[in-house]
Amino acid sequence: MRIRNPNSFIKVASLGSFHAAAQQLHASQPAISARIAALEETLGVQLFQRDKSGTRLTERGAQLLPYARKLVAIHDEMKLQLLDDTPQKGVMRIGVADTLAHLWMAPLLTQWRELFPLMEFELTMDLSQELWRSCTSMNLI
């Protein structure tokens, strides 16, 4: 079971609408419907009653709701536990050959800046031999 399925279930249940849940989850209404259908198929029960008056939980849906909330809460807690509490900060000095720098360094630095916003990156571009000499002279290798 994918965690987004119970999460979508919780949103539809709390908002009473597939459309409203889709807006809050930044997904399409058919995507939310598919998630709920997958959850219903996995569990073998109908979770919502849909009619002209709206969308409401079935008895089984109401029974599942507290468990879905616990499941999503445990998932979120698990993710938080795996994150490092102390963000990476400092200076990272990177030496890269000219050819490689032009090919892939810009997108890589962009990604690193997003992942490590407190890090400062210093980039040195030079010939491989010069980079090697520089590293050995500073006893970095």
The pLDDT tens digits of the residues spanning 50-108 come to 988 889 999 999 999 999 999 999 998 888 777 766 667 788 888 887 777 777 788 88
Q: What is the pTM of this model?
A: 0.58
Residues 73 and 118 in one domain: no
Residue span of the structural domain in which 42 resides: 4-82
The domain total for the chain is 2
Per the model's pLDDT, the better-predicted residue between 49 and 119 turns out to be: 49
The CA-based angle 87-103-127, given to 5 degrees, is 90
Residues 94 and 78 in one domain: no
For residues 5 and 23, is the Cβ–Cβ distance under 8 A? no
For residues 116 and 88, is the Cβ–Cβ distance under 8 A? yes
Residues 64 and 130 in one domain: no
Average pLDDT over residues 116-140: 79
**Three-class DSSP category at 55:** strand
For residues 1 and 42, is the Cβ–Cβ distance under 8 A? yes
Residues 9 and 70 in one domain: yes
**Three-class DSSP category at 95:** strand
Residues 9 and 38 in one domain: yes
Residues 132 and 76 in one domain: no
Of 82, 113, 129, the residue at which a domain comes to its end is 82
Residues 96 and 78 in one domain: no
